[in-house]
Each structure stands twice: as C-alpha cells, then as structure tokens.
Structure 1
C-alpha cells in the first residue's frame, strides 16, 4: 500500500474518533452511553449471555463488563440469571425497561446518521457500510 493512502486512512480515523462524540446522544437526552448501548445491544440481539462471552465479543476485560453489567442491573436494564448447569455462573438478560432505553437511544443515533448521509446514494451507503464492517472485523481480529 502506498504510504500516502495509509496516512489518509490514519488521519481520517483520528478525525472520526474525535467527531463520533457529536453523533452520540448527549446525557440530557438519554440514560445510556456508548459502552452500555453496545452491551445492551448484544443482549437484545443474542439473548442471555455470560460475562465471559460479553467480554470477548466487546473486547473488554471481564471486570469491566461485570462493573457495567452491575450498573445496568442496578438501573433495572438487565437481570442476572443463574446458570442452571453451574451454580457459580450467571447470565445477563435484558429487561423490558432495558429494551425501551436501548431502542430509544438507537433511534436517536439513527436520526443523526440519517441526517449525515441524506445526500448519499444507496450504493455509497452500501459501500461505506461494507468497508466499515470489514475494517471493524480486522480490528476485532487484531
């Protein structure tokens, strides 16, 4: 790869990292943040999961996921369910309140993204989504 192409990618990723906070709903609008959004989204899409699976999929250590999940449990967004096969282990399951908060937060994000790409063609959106997914998969495999 040409060095100037790599420099463009590196610079644009740095700028993207800085600007993404402007797309995230602010604290006055929602009770969630990006970290808890991703955790709740995993539970919503995949169902009940244990801390180890959540940590692996979110690329976090288990203590971080445990702290985040405990906070979500305290707020009533998730329930802790004992593992019937291992009395020491447990799963987290999203509650109805958690689903409501998650979907509200996601809708706010979707509105902002819709505005950002309103001038883009379907082909541009498809290409960007495909390449972004490919990049995220490369990050996950690092």
Structure 2
C-alpha cells in the first residue's frame, strides 16, 4: 500500500518519539520525564516564569502546568518567587539542583542523538534540525 507523504511523516514521527522517549528516560541517568525536561529548559533558557506564561507557551491548561511545576518544586528543581503586586501569583525560578538535573538529562539526549546521527553528513544534520524547527514553529 502506498503511503502519502503525510502518512509517512505521521508514522515516522510516532516511531521517533517512542524511541527517543524510551532512550532518554533511563532512570539510571537522571529522572526527568519529557514534561519536566521541557519546563526546566524553558525556565533555564528564558528566566523565571509564572504558571500562566508557561501554560501559554506549551499550549496547556494552567492546572496541568500547576501539577507539573508542583512536582518540580517538590523535587527541589524550582522554587517560587512571590509577585509583589499580587500576593496569590508567583514565578518559578530554577535551582542549582534543577540546573544540574537538566544538564544531566540534556547530556543523555545529546548522546542518543549523536549515536543515531553519527553516519549522517553535517549538511543532513543541519537540514533535519531546520525542518524540525520549521515543523515545531508552525502554530
């Protein structure tokens, strides 16, 4: 049966995501799931952020982000900074422990990708990155 390009992309993305998550959630090297990794990366890269801003960034509801950030706070990876204008609001800042855990998990992810892309030309690697960025940037 002939697949359309969209059908091919859909199944290849599903396989890629399954393999990547399985390889990068090895509990022997770090303990961040995909959501925790992305939240810590966002806060580390862009500075402290509130739950509302994170929910908007990830296109998730505030209750989901609240639950995920509460787990990060419980593990000591983030801490709350009270909003001086609104006593109920706060921003989240990454801790040294969070920075270290993020770095460890990033190292694992990079090792996985390096291994799987080692036979690709640098031009193919660049193009793959550009296409993934284009895909992820599409609203």
* TM-score between the two structures when normalised by the length of structure 1: 0.89
Structure 1, unaligned stretches of length 5 or more?
none
Who is 1:31 aligned against? 31
Who is 1:106 aligned against? 106
The question of whether the paired residues in 2 share the 8 Å contact of 1:76 and 1:97 is answered with: yes
Who is 1:11 aligned against? 11
What is the Cα deviation at residue 136 of structure 1? 1.0
Q: How does 1:77-96 map to 2 (within 5 A)?
A: 77-96=77-96
Distance 2:31 2:78 in 1: 14
Distance 2:18 2:77 in 1: 29
Listed one character per residue, the Cα deviations across residues 72-131 of structure 1 (whole Å, up to 9, x for unaligned) are: 111111010111222221000000111011101111111111111011111101100000
* TM-score between the two structures when normalised by the length of structure 2: 0.91
The question of 1:43 aligning with 2:43 is answered yes
The question of whether the paired residues in 1 share the 8 Å contact of 2:21 and 2:34 is answered with: no
Greater displacement, 6-15 / 63-72: 6-15
Task: Give the 3 Å change call, closer, same or farther, for CA 31–22 of structure 1 in structure 2.
Answer: closer
What is the Cα deviation at residue 34 of structure 1? 1.1
Partner SS, residue 24 of structure 2: coil
**Alignment RMSD, CA only?**
1.4
Structure 2, unaligned stretches of length 5 or more?
none
Partner SS, residue 35 of structure 1: helix
